[in-house]
Amino acid sequence: MIKTILLSSAALSVALLSACSPKSGKTETPATVETQSAPSSVNQAAINVINAEWTGPYGGVPPWDAIDPKVLNAALDQAMVAAQADIDQIADMKAMPTFDTVILAMERSGAVLDRASTLYGVHASNLSTPVMQAIQSEMSPKFSAFYDGITQNDKLFSKIKAVHENMDAEGLNAVQRRLVEDQYRSFVRQGANLSDGDKEILSTINSRLAGLSTKFGQNVQNDEENYPTIMNKTDLAGLPDWLVSSMANAAKGLGEDGKWAVTNTRSSMDPFLTYSTNRALRETVWNKYYGRGDNGGEFDNNAIITEILQLRYQRAQLLGYESHAHWALETRMAKTPQNAIDLMEAVWPAAIARATEEVADMQAVANSEGADIDIAPWDYRFYAEKVRKEKYDLDFNLVKPYLQMEKLREGMFYAAKRLYNFDFEQVTDVPVFHEDVRVWKVTNGNDLVGLWYFDPYARKGKRSGAWMNAYRNQHRMDNQDIKVIVSNNSNFVKPAPGEPVLISWDDASTMFHEFGHALHGLNSNVTYPSQSGTSVARDYVEFPSQLNEHWLETPEVLNTYAVHYETGKPIPADLLAKMRKAATFNQGFSTVEYLGSALIDMKLHMAGGDPIDPDAFERDTLAELGMPPQIVMRHRTPHFGHVFSGGYSAGYYSYMWSDTLTADAAEAFEEAGSFYDQATAKSLYDNIMSVGDTVDPADGFRAFRGRDVSIAPLMRKRGFPVPEEK
Tens of pLDDT, residue by residue over 360-413, are 999 999 999 999 999 999 999 999 999 999 999 999 889 999 999 999 999 999
Domain boundary among 166, 201, 222: 222
In terms of domains, do 317 and 190 share one? no
Looking at residue 495, its pLDDT comes to 86
Give 439's strand partners: 427, 453
133, 184 Cβ separation under 8 angstroms: no
In terms of domains, do 202 and 121 share one? yes
At 629-648, the pLDDT tens digits run: 999 999 999 999 999 998 89
At 280-305, the pLDDT tens digits run: 999 999 999 999 999 999 999 999 99
In terms of domains, do 329 and 255 share one? no
CA distance 645 to 292: 14
Average pLDDT, the chain: 92
In terms of domains, do 205 and 238 share one? no
Looking at residue 265, its pLDDT comes to 87
At 144-164, the pLDDT tens digits run: 999 999 999 999 999 999 999
Catalytic residues: 514
Statement: residue 426 has pLDDT above 80 = yes
534, 517 Cβ separation under 8 angstroms: yes
At 216-252, the pLDDT tens digits run: 998 998 899 899 999 999 999 999 998 999 899 989 9
Residue 410 counted as domain residue: no
At 167-184, the pLDDT tens digits run: 999 999 999 999 999 999
The helix, strand and coil proportions of the chain, stated in percent and rounded to the nearest 5, come to 60, 5, 35
The total number of structural domains that make up the chain: 3
Residue 280 counted as domain residue: yes
Statement: residue 610 has pLDDT above 90 = yes
At 92-105, the pLDDT tens digits run: 999 999 999 999 99
In terms of domains, do 69 and 176 share one? yes
State what percent of residues in the chain have pLDDT above 90.
87
Please state the pTM of the whole predicted model. Answer: 0.90
Distance (Å) of CA 268 to CA 326, 381, 395, 493: 37, 13, 19, 9
Residue 169 counted as domain residue: yes
Find the domain containing 277 and state its range.
Answer: 228-290
Statement: residue 32 has pLDDT above 80 = no
CATH of the domain at 58: 1.10.1370.40
In terms of domains, do 261 and 327 share one? no
Looking at residue 39, its pLDDT comes to 43
Residue 121 counted as domain residue: yes
CATH of the domain at 317: 1.10.1370.10
Q: How far is CA 221 from the centre of its chain?
A: 16
At 305-361, the pLDDT tens digits run: 999 999 999 999 999 999 999 999 999 999 999 999 999 999 999 999 999 999 999
DSSP class per residue in 219-268: HHHHHHHS--EEE-GGG-TT--HHHHHHHHHHHHHTT-TTSEEE-SSHHH
Does 382 or 459 have the greater pLDDT score? Answer: 382
In terms of domains, do 55 and 25 share one? yes
At 116-147, the pLDDT tens digits run: 999 999 999 999 888 998 999 999 999 999 99
Q: Which of 244-258, 694-708, 710-724 holds the top average pLDDT?
A: 694-708
In terms of domains, do 250 and 174 share one? no
Residue 520 counted as domain residue: no
Residue 584 contacts by C-beta under 8 Å, 6 or more apart in sequence? 717, 718, 719
Residue 514 counted as domain residue: no
Residue 163 counted as domain residue: yes
In terms of domains, do 619 and 634 share one? yes
DSSP 96: P
Looking at residue 1, its pLDDT comes to 60
The 3-state secondary structure of 589-635 reads: HHHHHHHHHHHHHHHHCCCCCCCCCHHHHHHHHHHHHCCCCCCCCCC
In terms of domains, do 19 and 33 share one? yes
Residue type, 413: F
Statement: residue 36 has pLDDT above 50 = no
Crossing angle between the packed helical segments 337-368 and 380-392, to the nearest 10 degrees: 70
DSSP class per residue in 394-437: --GGGTGGG-BHHHHHHHHHHHHHHHH--EEEEE-SS--SSTT-
Give 457's strand partners: 492
Statement: residue 3 has pLDDT above 90 = no
For residue 38, what pLDDT band results from cuts at 50, 70 and 90? very low
Q: What is the rounded average pLDDT of the residues 413-434?
A: 98
Statement: residue 37 has pLDDT above 50 = no
323, 313 Cβ separation under 8 angstroms: yes
The 3-state secondary structure of 462-511 reads: CECCCEEEEEECCECHHHCCECEEEEEEEEECCCCCCCCCECCHHHHHHH
In terms of domains, do 259 and 136 share one? no
Q: Phi/psi of residue 471, each to 5°?
A: -80, -35
User: H/E element holding 453?
Assistant: strand 447-457
In terms of domains, do 340 and 318 share one? yes
Residue 103 contacts by C-beta under 8 Å, 6 or more apart in sequence? 160, 163, 176, 179, 180, 183
Residue 383 counted as domain residue: yes
At 524-564, the pLDDT tens digits run: 999 999 999 999 999 999 999 999 999 999 999 999 999 99
Count, in order, helices (H) and strands (E) of the chain: 29, 7
Looking at residue 726, its pLDDT comes to 57
Give 488's strand partners: 454, 468
Looking at residue 725, its pLDDT comes to 63
Statement: residue 22 has pLDDT above 60 = no
For residue 460, what pLDDT band results from cuts at 50, 70 and 90? confident
Looking at residue 16, its pLDDT comes to 26
CA distance 632 to 381: 12
Pairing of strands 438-444, 447-457: antiparallel
